[in-house]
Chains A and B, each alone.
Chain A
Amino acid sequence: MLQLVTAVIQPRRLETVKDALKDAGVAGMTVTEARGFGRQGGHTETYRGAEYEVEFVPKVKIEILCGDEDADRIADAIVSAARSGEIGDGKIWVAPVSRAIRIRTGEVGTEAV
């Protein structure tokens, strides 16, 4: 079976996380610029003397498709590379994937990763 590891991290941590994932031997990853909020729900900035809410904070979302046996190791690698100990460090979730296909070769399942 396949798993999809999704992590939302601080943009400034992307390099470190990528290096950690390469060291962990991942075959590929997808990176998306994302915006969101967690428990603290954004923050306030000033512009030209008036305040405004930054309700959606810039984040980076990374997705890694991997085999069942690698999912925990990959999630742990992300946690240790992305943690600063401050609020907004991010979230990771893992979900089962029912089907994956490698487009060029038509391979499916773990072969496709």
Chain B
Amino acid sequence: MKRKLLTGGVLGAVLVVVMASPALAQEELAPASQFVLDNLWIFIAGVLVYFMQAGFALVEAGLTRSKNVSNIMMKNLMDMSAGVLAFALVGFGIAFGGGELLGGWFGFDIGIAGVEQTTGDGLLPSTFFFFQAAFAATAATIVSGAMAERTKFRSYFVYSFFITALIYPVVLRWTWGGGWLAQLEFPFSDFAGSTIVHATGGWAAMMGAIILGPRLGRYGKDGRPRAIPGHSIPFVVLGVMILFIGWFGFNPGSELAANVFVMQIALKTLLAATAGSVAAMILNWSLDGKPDVSIAANGLLAGLVAITAPVGAVETWAAPVIGAIGGLIVVFSVRLFDRLKVDDPVGAISVHAVAGTFGTLSIALFARYDDAFLGRENAGLFYGGGLDQLGTQLLFVIVHFIFVTTTAGALFLAIRATLGLRVSEEEELIGLDVMEHGSPGYGHDPGIPGTSSVGAESSDRLARS
């Protein structure tokens, strides 16, 4: 096998690795080493998922204007901080605690009781909480990009508390928490959270963007979309690459153990991501005549979001197919929301909600293996599994859509009625950095060219006219 690896070329090597892994399972480790490996790996995977926060912050900062850069960074800092605390205080208990309300549709355990326990087997409760809190923070942070450049900071802060305290945990309870979607005759499948995490953030983002309305100047007097270019493409690409790296914690970590499946999941994640960016670039290039950098970046993310649900259930060849379709979908979806006057400066709705929903449904077609959710092999339509799984996956994404849009919509409307949701027109034109946080993100140094406010003002006038 070693010789084959050396001589067989790249594709040969990949095949050998994939085919060799079941054999490895026979070499069982001593239980104590397995316990340490499991917890250590999930800890590292969790750290990678927290690192994704840096990626989100950079992508969102890059795709918006420099006068709002402190504000978007602050929102990213705070949806993580408030989000983790809210999840510790309330969310985690609702999702995974005991107690049942309304026949198990809601739980009522509060807090993180029991996480200090040290069992000698499986994941420590603290490891599990650490990992799950990273996912909660991910769901929360998706929203800031879609609501960028016009949302009051304090209102966003309140939102980020409630989504991780109440909305996301209920979705968790119904799914990974073992709730009703897991108890169906053909249980739902969403391995690492295309719908549970990404579409929760994505649909909440859509409600936020709709209720806020578009940024000033985003649509001309004739109603036609007018782009407002972001201020740093290097931030966007760096941020997307950080997200890409973080995803190797997100998906392979969702195996919740250090076992032979981890690398298979990593490999499928890799192929889906790269296929997503290439597919999005080619489609966008042929439509617009030039390959837009940020759309190719969105395509990579769409590939990642799409493979997040099916990654445990599908064969390796299917991963780049699913990723590429995710990349194509995102190009059309960004245009569609543009036309519908839903102003999403970073494409968060398209990447997380639309590609995430597609990825979740793709299981019904491509599922070959039992990913520990499906409970059977060959559940996909392409493997003779019929339409049973499609029924479950459709029910799952539809109920999820209704639940998230209703609760997030109600939350944003309640915030609008009390605190107000959108900054004043004056504040939006001047920029949120100075008006909300007291100083500009890049300073006002007359000795540094490009930091004067002259350019910002004239681009405001440009945006307004």
A49 to B287, CA, bound (A): 8
- Report chain A residues within 8 Å CB of B335: 49-50
Q: Is the CB of B458 within 8 A of A56?
A: yes
B338–A49 CB distance below 8 A: yes
Q: Let me know if B331 is at the binding interface, CB within 8 A.
A: yes
Q: Smallest CB–CB gap between B426 and chain A, Å?
A: 22
Known A55-B462, A56-B462; judge A48-B295 contact (CB<8 A).
yes
Bound CA–CA A52/B292 (angstroms):
14
CB–CB B227/A48 < 8 A: yes
For B357, list chain A residues within 8 Å (CB).
none
A51: Cβ under 8 A from any B Cβ: yes
Partner of A46, one of B228, B290, B331: B290
Checking A35, A49, A52, A56 against B334 with a beta-carbon cut-off of 8 angstroms, the contacting residue is A49
- A50 contacts B462, C-beta separation under 8 Å: no
CB of A93 within 8 A of chain B? no
CB of A49 within 8 A of CB of B288, answer yes
Task: Check A53 for interface membership: any CB of B closer than 8 A.
Answer: yes
- Residue of B225, B290, B449 near A50 (CB, 8 A) is B225
Give the distance in Å from the alpha carbon of A55 to the alpha carbon of B295 in the complex.
24
- B residues less than 8 Å from A33 (CB atoms): 449
Chain A nearest Cβ from B236, distance in angstroms: 11
Q: A35-B458, A55-B462, A56-B462 are in contact. Are A47 and B287 (CB under 8 A)?
A: no
B residues within 8 A CB of A45? 227
CA distance in complex: A33, B455 (Å): 10
Q: Does B294 contact A (CB under 8 A)?
A: yes
Q: How large is the interface on B (under 10, 10 to 19, 20 to 34, 35 or more residues)?
A: 20 to 34
Chain B residues with CB under 8 Å of A50's CB are 225-227, 335, 338
How far does the alpha carbon of A53 sit from the alpha carbon of B221 in the complex, in Å?
Answer: 13
Which B residues between 343 and 359 are near A, CB-CB below 8 angstroms? Answer: 347
Which parts of B330-384 form the interface with A (CB within 8 Å)?
Answer: 331, 334-335, 338, 347
Greatest chain B CB density within 10 A among A45, A52, A53, A55 is at A52
How many residues belonging to A are interface residues under a CB distance threshold of 8 Å? 13
Which applies to chain A's interface (DSSP): helix, strand, loop or mixed? Answer: strand
Complex interface residues of chain B between 271 and 314 (CB less than 8 A to chain A):
284, 287-290, 292, 294-295
- Counting residue pairs across A and B whose Cβ atoms lie within 8 Å, the total is 46
Q: Is B178 engaged at the interface, CB distance under 8 Å to the other chain?
A: no
Bound-complex Cα distance A50 to B347 (A): 13
Q: Quick one: which of A34-82 are within 8 Å of B by CB?
A: 35, 45-53, 55-56
A47 and B292 within 8 A (CB): yes
A72 to B295, CA, bound (A): 50
Q: Is B226 a contact partner of A52 (Cβ separation < 8 A)? A: yes
Q: Does B229 interact with chain A (Cβ within 8 Å)?
A: yes
Q: Known contacts A55-B462, A56-B462; is A46 also within 8 Å of B226 by CB?
A: no
Contact flag A48-B334 (CB < 8 Å), given A33-B449, A55-B462, A56-B458? yes
Query: Which residue of chain A has the shortest Cβ distance to B217 in the bound complex?
Result: A52
Within the assembled complex, what's the spacing in Å between the Cα atoms of A71 and B446?
31
CB of A53 within 8 A of CB of B226, answer: yes
In angstroms, Cα B289 to Cα A58, docked, is 23
User: Whole-angstrom distance from the CB of B65 to the nearest CB of chain A?
Assistant: 12
Distance between Cα atoms of A94 and B225 in the complex (Å): 42
- Could you list 19 examples of A-B contacts with CB < 8 Å? A33-B449, A46-B288, A46-B289, A46-B290, A46-B292, A47-B294, A48-B227, A48-B294, A48-B295, A48-B334, A48-B338, A49-B288, A50-B227, A50-B335, A50-B338, A51-B224, A51-B225, A52-B226, A56-B458
Binding site for A on B (CB under 8 A): 224-229, 284, 287-290, 292, 294-295, 331, 334-335, 338, 347, 449, 458, 462
* Partner-B contacts on A (CB < 8 A): 33, 35, 45-53, 55-56
Question: A46-B227, A48-B347 given. 17 additional CB < 8 A pairs?
Answer: A46-B288, A47-B294, A48-B292, A48-B295, A48-B334, A49-B284, A49-B288, A49-B295, A49-B331, A49-B334, A49-B338, A50-B225, A50-B338, A52-B229, A53-B462, A56-B458, A56-B462
